[in-house]
A and B are shown apart, each in its own frame.
Chain A
């Protein structure tokens, strides 16, 4: 038996062993649950990624300890 035939056979076996989801209809409104989650874990309005803070800290430290780089910084901005 070729590999393709074996693959086809495997697909058929899988279909026979596991049926498609028969009950995929939502039976209740999930909005109250959604409101609870929003209240428990409010999503921040403007999240600044942590690596942006790291970059800003590094830039700040560099300016503080090496003020000579300020012109170069302005040049690149």
Chain B
């Protein structure tokens, strides 16, 4: 039963990894032609989502292989530590990069932003592997989610004002999709860090995440005209 559940989860993860890599691939030509920073950060966000999901799958595999309930409980300890560190690092980076792809124009001309994303992601990953407190782990992820949601609200309001002043049609549905993506991404992280916390809703989180990534991929392919 447990193996079957993990198997299904690995299939979901595989589809999400493929979706993310397809988004990265489908936007390559557009970025190469335009060198547009927003597209660059958007692409990187999906590359990091793919890598993070890969580590998430590996963590699930390790948990089953070692028969452990938490990644930090497996021996040898460094295997779990390194995998968890990489997962948290790329997870945080993917959120920061996607958010930055929406707000980079506001912050253009300021230096060190990308470096600070990497430093913050390393700090988050380091705290994650060194703490055993569930409250701290959930707190960190709520902090990331709060940053993402506040950033989205600010850019959404600016976008609406900008479009109204230019008499353009009302905003796209992308802000809603981004919000869902951030919320379910954080659920995904909490699932890995505190497996007992969301165990009853695991299938819901997996299906919702799958739906969101497929929707984004569909929109990307529709716009880019890729096969």
Instruction: Say whether A associates with B.
Output: no
